[in-house]
Amino acid sequence: MIVAIDGPAGAGKSTISRLIAGRHDWTYLDTGAMYRAVTLLALEQGIAPADGEELGLLARNAEIGFQPGPDGSPQVFAGCRDVTEEIRGRDVSACVSEVSAHRSVREALVEKQRSIAAAGDVVMDGRDIGTVVCPGADVKIFLTAANRERARRRRLELAQKGVEVSQEQMERDIAARDDYDSRRELAPLKAAAGAVIIDTTNMTIEQVVDRVSGIVEKQLK
């Protein structure tokens, strides 16, 4: 079983995907974290977000892995280094859309993602899982939510890490990312054909999980 969960920033993809995977004891793959890890490494190595050739080489050679943390949540590693927190920083967030728009980067990481999906029983979240990475996924979900609500969620995430960002600034950041991701030529952000679109604006996490689980359970029968 391959479950593809796509959507914009702050829609709840990572949280819902992780909980769905845990409910069924399946593998969870946060593909967005892979692009963020490449972006972090690029910034550290002084590779410009516009340099597609160097970024492609970096993405192909980067050893990006996932391991369960003490609380069971996935930790992201670049080689032997835990970069789980670093990849969520504002510098990475500001550059990841441009980095991930390069064909060389996407081809390198999609190859890695498809290799993991080939083993089956996986829940994958991102922006192009149902459209590009696994168009033949058994279940395709597209999560969305109002801009203001998504900004509120992201602010809470950052606040828990001691980073304060105004609601207005976060709304601008998210709107800019949505615009960039939706307009890019390669693998633009959009719902896949046949995807179930779920607006999570006024839903609790439990409600969304139950809704997605119901779709998965129906497909399993």
pLDDT per residue as tens digits for the range 150-196: 999 999 988 888 889 999 999 999 999 899 889 888 888 999 999 99
Q: Record the tokens describing residue 9, joined without a space.
A: 């920033």
Which pair of structure tokens corresponds to residue 176? Answer: 């800019």
Give the domain ranges of the chain: 2-213
- DSSP per-residue codes, 90-126: HHHHHHHHHHHTSHHHHHHHHHHHHHHHTT-SEEEEE
d(CA 108, CA 86): 22
Report the predicted TM-score, pTM, of the whole model to 2 decimal places. Answer: 0.88
From first to last of its 221 residues, the chain has per-residue pLDDT tens of 999 999 998 899 999 999 999 999 999 999 999 999 999 999 999 999 999 999 999 999 999 999 887 776 789 999 999 999 999 888 999 999 899 999 999 999 999 999 999 998 999 999 999 999 999 999 999 999 999 999 999 999 888 888 899 999 999 999 998 998 898 888 889 999 999 999 999 999 999 999 999 999 999 98
Would you say domain 2-213 falls under CATH 3.90.1510.10? no
